[in-house]
Amino acid sequence: PQNSQNGPQLDGNQLVAKSLSRLGVTHMFGVVGIPVTSVATRAVSLGIRFIAFHNEQSAGYAASAFGYLTGRPGVLLTVSAPGCVHGLAGLSNGMANTWPIVMISGSCDQKDAGRGDFQELDQIEAVKPFSKLSVKARDIKEIPGCVANVLERAVSGRPGGCYLDLPTDVLHQTISESEAEELLTSAAEEQSQLQKLSSGSGNVVSSDVERAVSLLREAQRPLIVFGKGAAYARAEDELKKLVETTGIPFLPTPMGKGLLPDTHELAATAARSLAIGKCDVAVIVGARLNWLLHFGEPPKWSKDVKFILVDIDKEEIDLRKPELGLVGDAKKVLEMINRNIKDDPFCLGKSHPWVEAISKKARENVLKMEAQLIKDVVPFNFMTPMRIIRDAILGVGSPAPIVVSEGANTMDVGRAVLVQTEPRTRLDAGTWGTMGVGLGYCIAAAVASPDRLVVAVEGDSGFGFSAIEVETLVRYQLPVVVIVFNNGGVYGGDRRSPDEITGPHKDDPAPTSFVPGAGYHILIEAFGGKGYLVGTPEELKSALAESFAARKPAVINVIIDPYAGAESGRMQHKN
Ligand code: ADP
């Protein structure tokens, strides 16, 4: 807009887009509509890639995974109230997984708030339990500063979610270009100040590093555990150095897999119970001692184990009360540990009884699993197709595909069978065990790592949460192959015993069942993608070979025996 008195003018939409672009945002995920459509189109015209979804939930999951994969906040754009509420799924998922995400939502006119305006909600309050910071730009002049603030806070300290509220009236206000320029410059300065403040290595003192090294040196059965916080910190080189100079066995969490290759000779993955049950000192890097690691307690862990925790978040360390806590960035803390070891190196060596015990157990377990995997079982169980998929993924070589995994049995079996050889190549249901993340994660992975193929291995239930986003795959022509393990429902459809099938609605389908033999492959064909229906090893191999080579959106519908697999996967005790 042009205003004759004050020279060229910008409106709020333009200023939001300019602020995002100036402060380093390259991608956005979202669903447009009143009042934010123009924010998206302006952002695109400034060179930001906007990936438009069908549902804010998937867009939010995508933004959270983008934050994890790139180390920069994933930005989610939504409309007011209902859009914001749908987006909470992504924001909260980012918080739970400690991934940086910024949700930006339009909101109703400030003067009409409280009077039942169109799509009215107190969004600042609604997002509070799911964010580190929530701010509202109450005037156009506040926009650049607010954008800088949320982007920075999302990545500082423990990464997480931040929220920015943009009232409709603020998006329609105007400001002169010259004033906007001044505000943008000072926001960029503020951003770099904040970056400097948060770039230290935390509060780690050298005496603590020394203590950590001497605990490891004196341990009889040391173990190095690492998780997605270490992956986020890009600590792979430092971990490799630590493991290889000391000869200490290591155990990745599900998303830590790949920081060091699963095939590494010191990998304790296949001897997990022995490793955690018998270790006497465990250094835990960027992973929480939560349910995924059995809270660090007996009977899974020995009661005398000494934990050394490395985490960016002091509160996390205070919560777990370890033998020793090192608060700081995983990469930097490991660098300090490696430097300390270098002065007086030690290495367990292959013939150390602990290393031998772990590698013997791992070898035995791998052989046991291979014996199960090698059989071609038709109709498919979970193992046979998973082996074929594993081999196809390994056949791609480097850069390795990013694997997205969700479902109960599909994710459990996949975690054990699929092999990760490169960092940050596995995305799964994560800390919250969130189902429905698959398609959003696939899209984020494909745009964050354009040189990698993306392969989703998911249950039919997980796929169904956001199946319409296959249209998004086709629209952007993303190199994503979605493999659906189709067993006709949650845990495999109707598994009720006859005495459970009573009452006036006994003829309804079971709460766990979907239409048997659903044609998920046809869904993507409706939009011009490629679909495959497979039920035998030959059909699956051929579909994988063709779709991996094509690097185009595809859905492979793999028909699984509904009686294969267990209810609730390996979490039966909780259902
Ligand atoms: P996993 O699911 O792999 O076990 P979690 O999500 O439970 O991992 O834990 C990740 C931990 O990593 C969180 O406690 C988080 O505070 C921490 N973290 C995040 N970023 C960093 C970093 N740069 N350096 C060290 N720790 C980090």
Q: What is the DSSP string of 11-41?
A: EHHHHHHHHHHHTT--EEEE---TTTHHHHH
Mutate to test the pocket of ligand 1, among 64, 70, 98, 327 (most ligand atoms within 8 A of CB): 98
Core vs surface per residue 448-461: b (16+ CB within 10 A) or e: bbeebbbbbbbbbb
Q: Are 235 and 286 in contact (CB under 8 A)?
A: yes
478 Cα: distance to centroid of ligand 1 (angstroms): 29
Sheet with 222-226: list strands edge to edge: 250-252, 222-226, 281-285, 306-311, 324-327
Note the pLDDT of residue 288: 98
530 to each of 452, 536, 540, 550, 565, how far by Cα in Å? 19, 19, 14, 10, 28
249 phi and psi, to 5 degrees?
Answer: -65, 155
Other Cβ atoms within 10 Å of 121 Cβ, number: 18
Which backbone phi and psi does 27 adopt, to 5 degrees? Answer: -135, 145
Q: Which residues of the chain have pLDDT under 50?
A: 2, 4
Q: What is the pLDDT of residue 563?
A: 85
Provide the H-helix boundaries in 46-142.
56-70, 81-97, 123-127
Measured in Å, residue 65 CA sits from the centre of ligand 1 at 14
Which residue has a Cα nearest atom 5 of ligand 1? 287
pLDDT of residue 5: 56
Spatial strand order in the sheet of 133-136: 49-52, 27-30, 74-78, 101-107, 161-167, 133-136
pTM reported for the whole predicted model = 0.96
Specify whether the CB–CB gap between 420 and 426 falls below 8 A.
yes
Residue 197, pLDDT score: 78
Closest atom of ligand 1 relative to the 329 alpha carbon: 24
Q: Rounded CA gap, 189 and 361, in Å?
A: 55
Q: Give the model's pLDDT for residue 380.
A: 96
Q: Which residues contact 235 (CB under 8 A, 6 or more apart)?
A: 226, 259, 285, 286, 330, 331, 334
How far is residue 194's CA from residue 92's CA, in Å, rounded to a whole number? 24
Instruction: Give residue 202's pLDDT.
Output: 65
Give the C-alpha separation, 293 to 229, whole Å: 14
User: Do 491 and 566 touch, CB atoms closer than 8 A?
Assistant: yes
Atom of ligand 1 nearest to the CA of 430: 2
Rounded Cα distance, 481 and 520, in Å = 13
Nearest residue to 56 via CA among 36, 81, 76, 28: 76
Atom 4 of ligand 1, residue of closest alpha carbon = 287
- Scan for tokens 């945002």, then name that residue: 25
Q: How far is residue 388's CA from residue 367's CA, in Å, rounded to a whole number?
A: 17
Alpha carbon of 293 to ligand 1 centroid (Å) = 13
Ligand 1 centroid to Cα of residue 290, in Å, is 11
pLDDT at 571: 65
* For the CA of 316, the nearest atom of ligand 1: 14
Which pLDDT score is estimated for 572? 63
List, chain by chain if needed, residues with CB within 6 Å of any ligand 1 atom: 97-98, 158-159, 227-229, 232-233, 253, 255-256, 286-288, 290, 292, 311-313, 316, 329-330, 431
- Ligand 1 geometric centre to CA of 229 (Å): 3
